[in-house]
């Protein structure tokens, strides 16, 4: 059994360097074009899952066509709360933002949002439920979700969440206790 973790394609929020987790954005024009021009990903016979967010559903359709899929909302990106759809430049002088950055965002949530630990617990519970099934599974999800899963499954790599985060449209294939990158 192989689990494929694929990050959705680019959105305008990615292109503008905005915190975007809970906002349901479509892919950008450049994101759709990049996915349409990428080499196919061979997943064999597989079960398909998305987070239910538009950018993930569109990515699934562009990569795999019109396949049946399930929505598992626990695979949604972290909720950035009051910082959602804002950039560092827009927030850098805000006291609440500086407080959040100066504390550990992994433990402390942004105002009205969730912490990295909260998101990781939610995501890992959903992921572990999938591992009991013995079928190839494709999960089209978000960069932070993929990074949280990879950091938890492969701690010996010594990578932090940001080092595990794949580029839009890329990801990892996990088989047993090993993984390979999906460029």
Q: How confident is the model at residue 161, as a pLDDT? A: 83
Closest CA to 168 of 3, 20, 2: 20
Model pLDDT, residue 104: 87
Confidence of residue 160 (pLDDT cuts 50, 70, 90): confident
Closest by alpha carbon to 145, among 116, 169, 170? 116
Q: Reply yes or no on whether the pLDDT at 132 is more than 80.
A: no
Measured between alpha carbons, how far is 136 from 130 in angstroms, rounded to an integer?
Answer: 10
The 137-141 sheet, strands edge to edge: 70-71, 47-50, 137-141, 2-7, 171-175, 178-182
Is a pLDDT exceeding 80 seen at residue 122?
A: yes
Is the pLDDT at 90 greater than 80, yes or no? yes
Q: Is it the case that residue 12 has pLDDT exceeding 90?
A: yes
* Distance between CA atoms of residues 91 and 138, nearest Å: 35
Confidence grade of residue 134 (pLDDT, cut at 50, 70, 90) = confident
**Is the pLDDT confidence value at 133 over 80?**
no
User: Phi, psi (5° rounding) for residue 2?
Assistant: -125, 135
pTM comes to 0.94
Kindly report, residue by residue over 20-59, the tens digit of the pLDDT: 999 999 999 999 999 999 999 999 999 999 999 999 999 9
What DSSP character marks residue 100?
H
Mean pLDDT of 135-140: 96
Whether the predicted pLDDT of 112 surpasses 90: yes
Residue 8: CB atoms within 10 Å: 30
pLDDT of 140 above 80: yes
Q: How far is 4 from 169, CA to CA, in rounded Å?
A: 12
| Confidence (pLDDT) at 141 | 98
DSSP E strand stretches across the chain: 2-7, 47-50, 70-71, 137-141, 171-175, 178-182
State residue 176's pLDDT score.
84
Residues listed for the chain: 183
The number of C-alpha atoms within 13 Å of 68 and in the hemisphere containing its C-beta is: 3
């Amino acid at each position: 059994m192989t689990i494929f973790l694929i990050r959705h394609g680019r959105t305008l929020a990615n292109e503008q360097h905005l915190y975007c987790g809970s906002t349901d954005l479509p892919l950008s024009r450049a994101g759709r074009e990049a996915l349409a021009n990428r080499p196919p990903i061979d997943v064999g016979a597989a079960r398909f899952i998305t987070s239910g967010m538009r950018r993930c559903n569109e990515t699934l359709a562009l990569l795999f066509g019109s396949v049946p899929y399930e929505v598992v909302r626990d695979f949604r990106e972290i909720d950035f709360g009051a910082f959602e759809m804002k950039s560092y430049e827009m927030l850098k002088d805000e006291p609440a933002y500086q407080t959040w950055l100066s504390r550990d965002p992994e433990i402390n949530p942004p105002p009205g949002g969730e912490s990295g630990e909260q998101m990781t617990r939610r995501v890992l519970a959903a992921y572990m439920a999938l591992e009991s099934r013995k079928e190839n599974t494709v999960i089209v999800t978000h960069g932070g979700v993929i990074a949280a899963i990879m950091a938890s499954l492969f701690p010996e790599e010594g990578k932090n969440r940001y080092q595990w985060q794949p580029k839009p449209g890329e990801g990892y294939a996990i088989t047993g206790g090993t993984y390979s990158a999906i460029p």
